[in-house]
Amino acid sequence: MSDVVLEMKNIIKEFPGVKALDGVSLTVKKGSVHALMGENGAGKSTLMKCLFGIYHEDGGEIILDGKKEDILNSKQALDLGVSMIHQELHPIRYRPVMENIWLGRFPMKGIVVDRKEMIRQTKELFKEVELNVDPEALAGSLSPSTLQLVEIAKAVSYHSKIIIMDEPTSSLTENETKHLFKIIRSLQDKGVAIIYISHKMEEILKISDDVTIMRDGQYVGTWAAKELTTDLIIQRMVGRDMTQRFPEKHYQPSQEVILKATDLTASDPTSFKNVNFELRKGEILGIGGLVGAQRTELVEAIFGLRGIASGTLEKNGQALKIRHPKDAIKNKIALLTEERRATGIFGVLSILDNTVIVNQKDYAHAGMLNDHERLHAAEKANQELRTKTPNMDELIRNLSGGNQQKVLLARWLLTNPDILILDEPTRGIDVGAKFEIYTIMHKLAAQGKSIIMISSEMPELLGMSDRVMVMAEGRVTGILDAKEADSVVVMDYATRFAGKEHEGFDESEEN
């Protein structure tokens, strides 16, 4: 067993009302990529947080290099050679990149920080991982994908023997993912073991040596990646065959126009320009495009988060003036943002508070909140979406990504919107939870709700949209009926403006 770097045996972890891990085991070999898979809520991240010292297991044992260890905190884990790249990034946005990397271990000259040495070490690290970033740039000025690569560089800087990567490609383009794989191969050559959590099937089969699958907090099994197929992984993850990637369509969009944008141009001159489109009642309008197409900026402007310099918006034929999100909410427009941790959930609040926070006033009478009404509304909304949680008092940050997304959907559905804007609604969510989100979207469309969905996953964009609007460099380059849209046509429209690489869409991703 000399090639084994890690053994986790019969790990148990309980939270109030829920057994998150029930006797889970994991064996990882030196220099291997070991994928850890399962639906949201299967316990993958919880298991890794036990290894990294964020949680302490209630039972079982952790053996590193043949020695049993009691890991009480993350510093101890790092000292033992275990580092972790978290799914949700939390950089100190107003400090330089280099300070984010070396925080807690700054190079010193006497009693002061040696900034020149920090710059030198950061440049050397970035050279090693082929990352072109200014060490003195503020972390908050970088894109999510660049921040993800910086976080990967930080993990490499610890010279760990095990690196845990939790959804490392969730915000990376295709080229950036290839870059990450190159880094992983070089780490493997040095004997570093990678524990890799991802919902992207093709990615798993391409990069992994071994695959461990979990379900409902329990160990299902471990297989060599070369023995597996996408269908086998899905079947073992969900405990049943998934014969459909998308639910069958049982609704028909109306021809009635509910939202009309005419020559919409952003206040920011580098953003979207002269955007024209119509959204029909009871339809799912997909928005596709590559990185930098300004899709998110467009929907955020419609919701009042960004300024509009010129052009008009009409809802049901009436002019809309939206200068603030409260104006959008008043006009029955809702927005589920792309970055749920940064701009969606209130991590320190309960599921109850997160669910009812937008329409809190509906439960106030004579200046007093009616807790019974709030609880009833939150429970009903989350039960309809099949949110998995022990109770409404649980902190939302303790839920899996898919269940957090359902709470956010419940929040907006309580406002009874006519128009629901979903920005990357299934990012970082497993196949089972994706299908549930898709089913909810179909149900809403059948009720006459109109949905705008941004997606960078080509199968999702084509499989869920009634029409597809494609953007490139801030302009609409085409609006296609779902019947005439395919990946080649969409990519052609997405590259209509000069010189863009084919990044952003993952045409092969399994949902």
Section 3-32 average pLDDT: 90
Judgement on whether residues 445 and 395 belong to the same structural domain of the protein: no
Q: How far is the C-alpha of 460 from the C-alpha of 457, rounded, in Å?
A: 5
Alpha-carbon distances of 50 from 8, 45, 325, 462, 503, rounded to whole Å: 10, 9, 39, 39, 35
pLDDT at 510 over 70: no
Q: Quick one: 152 and 271 in the same domain? A: no
Question: What confidence tens digit (pLDDT) does each residue in 25-58 have?
Answer: 999 999 999 999 887 678 888 999 999 999 999 9
Domain that holds residue 429: 256-332+417-497
C-alpha angle 300/467/387, rounded to 5°?
Answer: 60
Which of the listed residues 395, 416, 437 is the one where a domain comes to its end?
Answer: 416
Say yes or no: 313 and 226 in one domain.
no
The more confidently predicted of residues 377 and 282 is 282
Residues 295 and 471: beta-carbon distance below 8 Å: yes
Neighbours of 31 (CB within 10 A): 16
pLDDT single digits (tens) 248-287: 888 899 999 999 999 999 999 889 999 999 999 999 999 9
Q: Which of 206, 238, 270 is the last residue of a domain?
A: 238
pLDDT tens for each residue of 78-90: 999 999 987 666 7
* Section 392-398 average pLDDT: 83
Classify residue 243: in a domain, yes or no.
no
Question: Cα–Cα distance between 36 and 164 in angstroms, integer?
Answer: 10
Clarify whether residues 162 and 188 are in a common domain: yes
Shortest CA distance to 419 belongs to which of 277, 250, 262, 246?
277
Task: Note whether residue 156 is domain-resident.
Answer: yes
On average, the pLDDT of the chain sits at 86
The string of pLDDT tens digits covering residues 169-201 is 876 777 788 888 988 998 899 899 999 998 778
Both 421 and 411 in one domain: the answer is no
For residue 475, tell me if it sits in a domain: yes
426 and 300 in one domain? yes
- Counting Cα atoms < 13 Å in the Cβ hemisphere of 497 gives 15
Domain count, the chain: 3
| Residue 1: pLDDT over 50 | no
464 and 485 share a domain? yes
For residues 145 and 220, membership in a common domain is answered with yes
Instruction: Tell me whether residue 393 is in a domain.
Output: yes
Copy the structure tokens of residue 106: 């700054």
Contacts of 227-231 with C-beta under 8 Å, sequence gap 24+, read 229/205, 230/201, 230/202, 230/205, 230/510
**AA letter at 299:** V
**Residues 6+ positions from 295 with CB-CB distance below 8 Å:** 287, 288, 289, 423, 454, 471
Confidence of residue 509 (pLDDT cuts 50, 70, 90): very low
How far apart, in whole angstroms, are the C-alpha atoms of residue 301 and residue 308?
7
Residue 251 lies in a domain: no
- Which residues are bridge partners to 194 per DSSP? 33, 163
163 plus 303 within the same structural domain: no
In this prediction, residue 393 carries a pLDDT of 84
Domain end, chosen from 416, 446, 474, is at 416
Average pLDDT rounded to a whole number, residues 325-349? 82
Band (pLDDT 50/70/90 cuts) for residue 500 is very low
- Residue 27 inside a domain? The answer is yes
Same domain, 122 and 77: yes
**Helix or strand run (H / E) with residue 79:** helix 74-79
pLDDT score recorded for residue 341:
63
User: Looking at the domain assignment, is residue 503 inside a domain?
Assistant: no
Q: Under 8 Å CB-to-CB from 156, ≥6 apart: which residues?
A: 125, 128, 129, 163, 183, 187
**349, 324 in Cβ contact below 8 A?**
no
Same domain flag for 405 and 426: no
Same domain, 33 and 182: yes
Q: What is the CATH number of the domain that holds 171?
A: 3.40.50.300
